[in-house]
Amino acid sequence: MILVINSGSSSLKFGLFTVAKAGQNLECLCRGNLSWISGRADFSITHHKPVIVEPSLIAVASGMNFNTVEEAYQCLCRWLHQFKEQPVIEKVCYRIVHGGHHYNAPVFIDESVMTKLEALVPLAPLHQPLALQGVRIFRVQYPQALHVACFDTAFHRSMPQVAQTFALPEDLRVQGVKRYGFHGLSYHYVVTRLPKLLSGEIPKRVIVAHLGSGASLCALNAGVSVATTMSFSPLDGLPMATRSGAIDAAAVLYLLKEMKFSLDEVSDILNTRSGLLGLSGVSGDVRELLQSDSEEARHALDFYVYRICQEIGGLMAILQGVDALVFTGGAGAHCEQLRKRICAQFEWLGVRLDGAANKNNELAISEEESTIALYCLQTDEEWMMAKLSADLSAANTRVES
């Protein structure tokens, strides 16, 4: 079995999978979510096979309390150890947001890998420390298992050099100050699953919009990433729930030099107090903003849609056209009003949204005459991680650039 750990800043998703050889017949036996928003612990089992997870175990999960990610990890460990038939976990797979320039594929984790990943904490301060904390805990809990790191950055290593470059002095670029891109596991899932769902090949020129608490876009050419909106860190690109997205570097210098904010204060402003929350003063959740009557909430949504459409236009130019636009992520896959507003901005291009299909969150949401095919696909990073882990050969323990 493969245990998948996908940690966020205020939640922890997990999945337990079985797999046959070479990653075939991957089956999810159990998956769940632990969150600790506003000091309220919530341990929910979102899918399970009754032969694996008894009803009593679901009740045990709902009664567990935790307030931090470390406590959530410990709760998950205790819960897994209560299985009547103890699952033999051969691999534990972790979502690691930032792999830097070291890794372009999943790797087995050892102390050398941990050292390199810890050095990347400043590039993903909301995610990297929490993920590595989980690695430490589960390596102790499952010492006989193989532990695998799957990177959000790895998928974008295919981008041409021009798309990975900042206009900075060469010595800085050589030291890794470059564009990396993120949400790679989500984009990899779309590339893997969409052709099977469509019973054919993935369209040649595709733009995928991963719109959730974090948000980014990716341009795919024949299933390969050629450009994306996030760059050196997950802070760049589109405005997000609490992250600012793209901002003039001089504005950051101004906050530091003229307004006398400390480095930690500026980091907090840009990562946790900006984005849709900062613009609206109401919420960072698109669905809550759509229900709000405040002018600030409307302005936040207008800006969000404006920036998404602006970046889609740029990716269209890079691809020299687009055959399909795929919406995924929490808001992208479940918020029909957001998709409607975005698609309306491209009606001049012949985009035609099927209102009924869009409202029902169906896979194909464009009308037949639409010049661009439109799709709505719920991503599954845990499934993608399990497949990558299952496919990882012991002979390929470390793939470095």
Which sequence positions are flagged as catalytic? 152
Rounded CA-CA distance 153/72 in Å is 25
Whose structure tokens read 């193989």? Answer: 146
Strand partners, 327: 209, 376
SS3 239: coil
Classify residue 38 as left (phi > 0), alpha (psi -120 to 50) or beta: left
Strand partners, 4: 15, 93
Q: Please state the φ and ψ torsions of residue 8, each to the nearest 5 degrees.
A: -120, -170
Burial code (b: 16+ CB inside 10 Å, e: under 16) for 50-87 equals eebbeeebbebbeebebeebeebbebbeebbeeeeeee
Rounded CA-CA distance 357/143 in Å is 48
Rounded CA-CA distance 345/342 in Å is 6
| Contact assessment for residue 336 and residue 211, using Cβ atoms and an 8 Å cutoff | no
254's tokens: 């101004």
Q: Please state the φ and ψ torsions of residue 108, each to the nearest 5 degrees.
A: -75, 140
3-state secondary structure 30-83: EEEEEEEECCEEEEEEEEECCCCCCHHHHHHHHCCCCCCHHHHHHHHHHHHCCC
| Contact assessment for residue 324 and residue 377, using Cβ atoms and an 8 Å cutoff | no
Rounded CA-CA distance 136/289 in Å is 38
344's tokens: 């309306």
Angle between helices 295-319 and 336-344 (to 10 degrees): 60
* Cβ burial, residue 170 (10 Å; 0-12/13-18/19+): exposed
Rounded CA-CA distance 178/175 in Å is 9
CB atoms within 10 A of CB 166: 12
| Contact assessment for residue 293 and residue 277, using Cβ atoms and an 8 Å cutoff | no
